[in-house]
A and B are shown apart, each in its own frame.
Chain A
Amino acid sequence: MLTLCKGEFSVERDDDRCIRCLVCVRQCPFDVHKYDEEEDRIYSDESKCVGCQRCATLCPTDAITIRYEPMEMKENANWKTYHLTNIYKQAETGGVLLTGMGNDKPYPIYWDHILLNASQVTNPSIDPLREPMELRTYLGRRPDLLDIEDGDELILKTEISPQLKLELPVMFSAMSYGAISLNAVKSLARAAAIAGTYYNTGEGGLHKDLYKYGKNTIVQCASGRFGISPDYLNAGSAIEIKIGQGAKPGIGGHLPGEKVLEEISETRMIAEGTDALSPAPHHDIYSIEDLRQLIFALKETTAYEKPVGVKIAAVHNSAAISSGMVRAGADFIVLDGLRGGTGAAPLVTRDNVGIPIELALASVDQRLREEGIRNKASLIVAGGIRSSSDVIKAIALGADAVYIGTAALVALGCHLCQKCYTGKCAWGIATQDPYLTKRLNPEIGTRRLVNLLKAWSNEMKELIGGMGINAIESLRGNRLQLRGVGLTDTEYRILGILPAGE
């Protein structure tokens, strides 16, 4: 059938600059570039280009420019090119449209409407280059109070639940081996170990080479239960039950059989070549009391030595659900917002389901405080955290820590072409093709991630020092350090912040 869709990108090649080295031909997994030996010329099939910028970045003579040039239709406020091309594709295939990464639609991004405070005169700002500035964060369940006996020496009579220690309040989100390459997972694991934080296995099990990073690992238990064994559960420092994901709330996952190669098959404990299907709900969790049973089954398995948390997608009722999860025994809860990424999701779900993380975070933190149970669980947020200032704003709204997924992949080279679901990632990240995965050197990947965390750490210290704060816990939930611009009264109320000028 003739496709009615035009490619989204144009490929411009400066023939004076091109030296026919064929880097672009070899690098493009989408077969855009073809060399014609007879003519000594490279032709580009623009319709296949996904805009990943791999060829343009690696071209040694800067001969290639990739430009975003979607099909330009007669202007129509209702029928955008987005809708037309989607309909063409569906008319041609009859399928559910897939996509990768997070929601890219122009829903409000509240981080960009929130400004931070700084100290002037009455309260000195603190210079992080001269004074200690603390970002260390502990995650886990806390009692309301401590019983300490004072005598010749202090005797602590309260034993507190196991805690995770983070040198900065940023962790790497759940991304499974399968969704991303082993080299990408190795980069995340090593970087987490060096930076003193955690990465998350996602639902892909734990590859045998990664057990040694267990101290910096959060192992996930998702609806497919892939790769879960007592060894796996005990290998990490914490366990996360995944109920939902911001990019696709309410639905499960699907790793196609062609990606289930030998090592993935071994890690996930499923036969080679079979589809790895994660059901939409856990088949043993149909309500909150079932969640409690799973939480305690996992705690029993790990002898109550590890925090067990629960991750949900941010949805309308997040506040009530979170309260239930804390009461069900979760030591930390993770909220994944509307803009959270994914390796593959139906376009219609990714673009239309869930709520912005900022609003979910504000309402959950407030709700848990009103119920007097905020200290019983730590609150981690994920989904579209782009910079150190987003992290600071999230913490001031009430988060204990954040997860970054997309930002970490970008540090590894991702250019957000959103084609993860094709398994052809030109940057060697979201692929299992050995020809492509070797493009990501885990040594270099580690260094890039460690650099990112170091840079963010330094920036966060500057920001909190500017507010006259020298320990991150004094920022947590400290919404007076935030002011909003350009929001409605309702949004100010939900975020619990004042407008700038007040």
Chain B
Amino acid sequence: MQKIAYKKDISGCAVSGILNTNGKKINGRYIIRSIANMHDRSNGLGGGFAAYGIYPSYKEYYAFHLMFDDLNARERCEEFLDKNFLIEKDEDIPTRKINTTADPPILRRYFLEPREEKLNKISEDDFVIREVMKINSDIEGSYVFSSGKNMGAFKAVGFPEDVGNFYRLEEYKAETWIAHGRFPTNTPGWWGGAHPFALLDYSIVHNGEISSYGINKRYLEMFGYRCTLLTDTEVVAYLFDLLVRRHKLPMKIACKALAPPFWDEIDRMPEKEKKVMKTIRTVYGSSLVNGPFSIILGFKDGMLALNDRIKLRPLIAATKKDFLMVSSEEAGIREICKEPDKIWSPKAGEPVIGLIGKGVVEEG
């Protein structure tokens, strides 16, 4: 595992996501077809998926997906897990042998409950985040790549369709799928470096390079986050965690902090709205994510897609009945849905939000 050599993530990419707003389950083969149809947007150095609602029998437990370099790392990490969590169940993550994914690490999943005595003065979620960060930075050769409840991330070095095949995703059914195909320009092929990046039940796929990375990272450090991976995606995930989970901002407001309107637009807004926006920009200036990006965020209630504020990366959205689809290219949507009811290009900086049980609440 080459965590240390892994420098700031610079990559072009493909992203794709599907949500059923009534919570109906979707087979994994659709998301694979969608992302595979944008094959040329990746270069074989990373692909991955996140799926929601896949572990209904263990939905009360934090589902940890872990990769280990060797048995030694696994042993050390399991000892650590055992000290801090009750392990309800643990097993290998099912995979199939394919030629295109070289050198898989040991892949295991654990369904965990934090030990009661460890939780004084800290919430369960905060405890889990802290332990994940400890494992990732302190236990050599171990990496937690998924830690939410009733959800999981699956990622590897390879083209996304091969990664989906490797993890046997056609055996999973989920209400939300997000996917990523990676085109890194400067990073070695490390399995942990593929997207999605997942923390608790947030998972994020991202196409872009963040020119504000330096300050976003320093801002997050003020709130105790450790940006160990030096990837842009990690920073975006932590920003959502800080703004939505910890600061309890409504999701669309968090999006306004990440991709705010321009001052001259704000100046023209009605007085009340102007004041809100001005205050958001003033207080959350360091969380503005500058530079080109299109991101898809999966979370337990749904899916969100967002572009940077001048739309420097592509993002298309479509609906068909109770399905919401978002993708880097229209090709990623048409492949799985020939005739969408509606297909559109979301505005720069305006989120598309689909919520289970509520439908598409923001169209971007």
Contact = CB atoms under 8 A, between A and B. Distances in A.
B276 A468 contact: no
B250 A468 contact: no
A473 B288 contact: yes
B222 A123 contact: no
A1 B61 CA distance: 94
Given A123-B209, A469-B211, A369 B221 contact: yes
Given A123-B10, A131-B310, A136-B263, A479 B291 contact: no
A188 to B, nearest CB: 25
Interface residues of B, number: 47
Nearest to A117: B211
B310 A126 contact: yes
B262 A134 contact: yes
A476 interface: yes
Given A123-B10, A470-B309, A477 B276 contact: no
Contact of B282 (A132, A160, A478): A160
B263 to A, nearest CB: 5
Contacts of B262: 132, 134
B247 interface: yes
Interface string B197-239: 0000000000001011111001101110000000000000000
Indicate the size class of the contact surface on chain A: 35 or more
Contact of A146 (B215, B249, B260): B249
B291 A476 contact: no
Summarize A's interface: helix, strand, loop or mixed: loop
B165 interface: no
Contacts of A280: none
Contacts of B282: 138, 140, 142, 160, 163
Contacts of B246: 145
Contacts of B8: 480
Interface string B255-287: 000001011100000001101100111111110
Contacts of A372: 222-223
Contacts of A160: 279, 282-283
Contacts of B2: none
Contact of B292 (A124, A131, A375): A124
B121 to A, nearest CB: 18
A469 B288 CA distance: 10
Nearest to A502: B7
B283 A146 contact: yes
B253 interface: yes
B310 A146 contact: no
A490 interface: no
Contacts of A475: 212, 215
Contacts of A138: 281-282
A321 interface: no
A145 B276 contact: no
B279 A123 contact: no
A131 B263 CA distance: 13
Contact of B218 (A131, A143, A369, A471): A369
Contacts of A136: 263
Contacts of A352: none
A468 B12 contact: no
Interface in A350-401: 369, 372, 374-375, 396
Nearest to B183: A122
List of 5 A-B pairs having minimum Cβ-Cβ separation, nearest first: A480-B214, A473-B285, A474-B290, A474-B212, A478-B214
Interface of A: 119, 121-124, 126, 131-132, 134, 136, 138, 140, 142-143, 145-148, 150, 153-154, 156, 158, 160, 163, 369, 372, 374-375, 396, 467-471, 473-481
16 contacts: A121-B185, A122-B11, A122-B185, A138-B281, A138-B282, A148-B276, A160-B279, A369-B218, A369-B222, A469-B212, A471-B290, A473-B215, A474-B289, A477-B218, A478-B212, A478-B214
Given A131-B310, A369-B221, 8 more contacts: A123-B211, A123-B291, A140-B282, A148-B250, A156-B279, A468-B291, A471-B288, A478-B213
